[in-house]
Amino acid sequence: MPAPHSHSQNHLLALLPAIDFEPLAAHLELVPLRLGDMLYEPGAQLQHAHFPVTAIVSLHYVLESGASAESAGVGNEGMVGIALFMGGDTTPSSAVVHTAGHAYRLPARVLQQEFARSGSMQQLLLRYTQALMTQMSQTAVCNRHHSVEQQLCRWLLLTLDRAPLRELVMTQELVASMLGVRREGITEAAGNLQRAGVIRYRRGHIEVLERPGLEARVCECYAVVKHELARLDATGKAWRAR
């Protein structure tokens, strides 16, 4: 039997002091998220915030031509729906599930009420927003200046940090869409990693055989994002210790 889910599997919820978590507890609803589920569309009013525990959500921008790219990913380190407390109920991006799992859903009004209290919830969400903006900025730089193989390594490592499994259910088409590159580029990069013994790829599945091999090939962008998330975690633990 799979282990039961807990709010503490989401790092943001786990970092909240008990006095700040209690007002949220009765409103949090555990929901399944399937691969391809869209949590919100561009311009649509957000009704809920989502705190993933095992699912991973991709924040996407789609052009008029239909081309798209991921600006950031959100897993158990964060939440989906920062527009709810940043002054707007809508966003030009979309949020699509790229790894199935579960998340805790919180009504928008509850999140906004707790954010307005100016307590630990507000401080934690603002720090998370800074970490998310760092990830978005680093993704933009990485996609412009680094090779497809380096981008793929970065994306795989960030996904592994959020997912407990070594094998990912992921097609080359989906990865290419995430990175905003041609499928042929992903085929070549994945082939290089497979020949080096770092991953094993079969249709629809990517199994990581040697994580150190990914870390040896990735650009500095992965470390920047990981460092910022570690700072968020350290800040939250310091609040809880007060």
- Per-residue pLDDT of 33-90, as tens digits, reads 998 899 998 888 899 999 999 999 999 887 777 777 889 999 999 999 999 998 777 7
Q: What is the CATH number of domain 7-143?
A: 2.60.120.10
Higher pLDDT, 127 or 92: 127
Q: How far apart are CA 37 and CA 33, in angstroms?
A: 6
| pLDDT tens column, 198-239 | 999 887 888 999 999 999 999 999 999 999 988 887 776 665
> What is the rounded average pLDDT of the residues 112-123?
90
pLDDT at 173 over 60: yes
Class of CATH domain 147-218? mainly alpha
Higher pLDDT, 242 or 21: 21
Residue with tokens 């499994």: 165
* Domain range list for the chain: 7-143, 147-218
Instruction: Select from 132, 151, 159 the least CA-distant residue to 231.
Output: 132
Can 7-143 and 147-218 be said to share one CATH topology? no
C-alpha 241: how far from its chain's center?
A: 27
pLDDT at 184 over 90: yes
Q: How far apart are CA 79 and CA 111, in angstroms?
A: 11
Q: What's the confidence (pLDDT) of residue 241?
A: 63
